[in-house]
Amino acid sequence: MEVMRVFGLLRWSVSGKENLPPRPQGMVLVVNHIQWHDIPFIGWALPLSHRPWWLAKVEIVNSVFGWWFRMMHVIPVRRGQRDIQAIDRAADAARSGKVVIIFPEGTRSHDGRLLQGRGGTARIALRAGVPIVPMAITGTQKSVWFSKRHITIGTPYYPEVRGTDGNLDKIPAPEMARLTNEIMLKIAASLPTEYHGFYTEMMQEQSAQQTNQGQSA
């Protein structure tokens, strides 16, 4: 990804680099996905010490540009199904100290508004025993050359599973949904309100709860 740093001449900015866990700690970075050029933007934003591995749909890896994606350490994912092999490979990579990037929406939003997150991301971090680092991108729905864009790196956290007795292979669907919502809400927290999309109501409820807790403290 060093080549991508040429794009530092563009109107790109990043905040929160201090939140990245130090290397050689493995980690899972979760990012909202707007357009294809999110990828070079993320590559530019991360330090060289955090050169990432990526989860991407298998069609990309098998395309005419597949050689390039393989050079980027892409782990292919079969969308529309629970790809156990991809989950295991990603967990193994993170456990061995790699930085693994996942787009939990599973596809591009195009307009910057969050789509519903898909399961699997939390499972990877749990199996690997590594922190999740939420990241939020704004501006990539516009021209790649002339628009301002920003990426915010949030505070890392370790997901916690409830009511499974530690069996990570049998996480109930409601609990997986809670873990996925937790990830997406942490991404949304670094986005402008108009981009909360699917999570607008949840963010409003979360804000109201925090206000009530503050008043009762």
Domain boundaries, the chain: 2-216
Report yes or no: 8 and 44 within 8 Å, Cβ to Cβ.
yes
**pLDDT mean over 58-87:** 71
pLDDT at 16: 97
pLDDT at 168: 80
> For the chain, what is the mean pLDDT?
86
Find how far residue 200's CA is from the centre of its chain. Answer: 18
Tens-place pLDDT, residues 90-138: 999 999 999 999 999 988 999 999 999 988 899 999 999 999 999 999 9
Amino acid 4: pLDDT:
43
pTM of this structure = 0.87
What is the pLDDT confidence band of residue 74, given thresholds at 50, 70 and 90? confident
- Distance, in Å, from the CA atom of 15 to the CA atom of 187, rounded to the nearest integer, reads 14
Cα distance between residue 170 and residue 183, in whole Å: 19
Q: Please give the distance of CA 131 from its chain centroid, rounded to a whole number.
A: 12
CATH of domain 2-216: 3.40.1130
pLDDT of residue 5: 44
- Amino acid code (one letter) for 110: H
130 Cβ neighbours under 8 A, 6+ residues apart? 25, 26, 27, 28, 94, 95
In whole angstroms, give the CA distance from residue 41 to residue 52.
12
Stretch among 2-6, 12-16, 201-205 having the lowest mean pLDDT: 2-6
Instruction: Say if CB 199 and CB 188 are below 8 A apart.
Output: yes
